[in-house]
Structure 1
């Protein structure tokens, strides 16, 4: 069984707490920020447990993970369809976007080189309208 085939694990109290806190925000948050939200709610969940739970949820495609421009992994619950992210580098606001042109380009490049079983991630960073006007 590969890590992507591994189930998210039995729903312990700590894992349920992490899953519940993920429902409380729409932007991407770091494991430390998620741990802070849990602590503020009075939940006693260790930071290592938060990291492990987030990794299991990511392996099970239950959360999206992206790397910020600084290289930090951040997490959020996203829609189940394939999409990409437009992320404000100032406030972290995130918009899910579909990219048919990206999908066509990805398939064309793979076909050109004989690759199959494709996957890819695309994050676009910029400044949102609210931060531009603020």
Structure 2
């Protein structure tokens, strides 16, 4: 699904572009990096840098917004967090519960995310790329809908 309105008119979240490959840069373990990591470990849904910064401030942890952006980008570059773009184009982050390549089910209403493995999608992507002569292929698949709780709320249950 591309960015824009979905079939029911809701704005969807789209994957952020993958970081450019390159040599891994060793990161210093700072108080700020540990604080950001601790918050990410506690959250189950995606969070924007601004939201993360507010949580840190509410806890009395002094981390500037610019530092929060840098740390999240670094964690993303290292593959330690998933990053998507919301309907407004803002990057949102979440600690990966699954290591390795995976996809997400995302609730359009509450933002709940479920990590899923999809072997059929992997086979389809490889086959499609081969059929068209593409090599060094990457892909992202995000499935958008309403989670069971939001579906029940919408139905008035």
Same fold (TM over 0.5): yes
Match of residue 87, structure 1, among 85, 88, 106: 106
Is residue 56 from structure 1 mapped to residue 74 from structure 2 by the alignment?
yes
1:8 Cα deviation after fit: 5.2
1:104 Cα deviation after fit: 1.1
Structure 2 stretches lacking a partner, 5+ long: 1-19
1:72 Cα deviation after fit: 2.0
Determine helix, strand or coil for the equivalent of 1:86: strand
1:105 Cα deviation after fit: 1.4
Ranges of 4+ aligned residues in structure 1 off by more than 3 Å: none
Residue equivalent to 2:125: 106
* CA distance 1:3–1:42, shift in 2 (3 Å): farther
Matches of 2:115 and 2:122, distance apart in 1: 15
Give the 5 Å matches for 1:111-122: 111-122=130-141
Given that 1:65 and 1:74 are in contact with CA atoms closer than 8 Å, whether structure 2 keeps it comes out as yes
Match of residue 83, structure 2, among 49, 56, 65: 65
* CA distance 1:58–1:8, shift in 2 (3 Å): farther
Matches of 1:103 and 1:57, distance apart in 2: 25
Determine helix, strand or coil for the equivalent of 2:83: strand
Residue equivalent to 2:28: 10
Count of residues in correspondence between the two structures: 133
Matches of 2:86 and 2:145, distance apart in 1: 12
Per-residue deviation, residues 91-115 of structure 1 (Å, max 9, x unmatched) = 1111111111211111012112222
RMSD across aligned C-alpha pairs, in angstroms? 1.5
